[in-house]
Amino acid sequence: MTLDNELATRARRGEPDAAAQLLARIRPGVLRYCWAHLGSLGRGDVSPDDVAQDVCLAVFEALPRYQDRGLPFTAFVYRIAANKVADAHRAPALRTVETIPERADERWSPEDKAVHADLSRRLLPLLDDLTESQREIIVLRVAAGLSAEEVGAVIGKTPAAVRMAQARALARLREWVRATDGVIV
């Protein structure tokens, strides 16, 4: 049993310390996943930070139904994340703010946010050149930091198939960069 699976089981039983540890473990990867798929506000009308928050809330709302079936807990998390990102892409252009948000996340300075938004703006076209499957594998492996085994559990492929698809995707990205003389506008 992985640490995440153990923490999920304990959090499901109502242990607040386990829930806090679980959130601390999954949130950074979920945030990177959302940024990789949504980029800055130019990829929809919601921020990646908001979607990551929705993912974390949805994970904890679904936790009572979670059953450890031998798969990594991250497979459960990133299936929810994939659905929330898809929802964000389909979201209507206009939203109403129902509540005043809590304090801003102070872990990232305005400069950090600007750098990440610029990097996302420049790198997302590269990801758009990949197939949907390749893009998901690259985002899960690189942005979310999952192992090939965990990615396989999320997308329903063997770890070997994940590694092969990742190698093909990286080769395609290298070709793209060579063709543009390494200029990512």
44-62 tens-digit pLDDT = 567 888 999 999 999 999 9
Domain ranges (residues) in the chain: 3-179
113-157 tens-digit pLDDT = 777 667 666 677 777 788 889 989 998 998 888 999 999 999 999
3-179 under CATH 1.10.10.10, yes or no? yes
**In angstroms, rounded to a whole number, what is the distance separating the alpha carbons of residues 39 and 143?**
12
Residue 78 to residues 19, 83, 87, 136, 137, Cα–Cα distance (Å): 17, 8, 14, 10, 11
Give the distance from CA 128 to its chain's centroid. 16
The band of 67, judged by pLDDT with boundaries at 50, 70 and 90, is: confident
| Residue partners of 175: CB distance under 8 A and separation at least 6 | none
E-strand ranges in the chain read none
Which is nearest to 144 in space by CA: 3, 35, 13, 9?
35
User: To 10 degrees, what angle do helices 48-62 and 16-38 make?
Assistant: 140
State both tokens at 90.
């389909």
Which is nearest to 86 in space by CA: 29, 157, 138, 34?
34
Is residue 72 within 8 Å of residue 4, measured between CB atoms? yes
- Amino acid type, 95: R
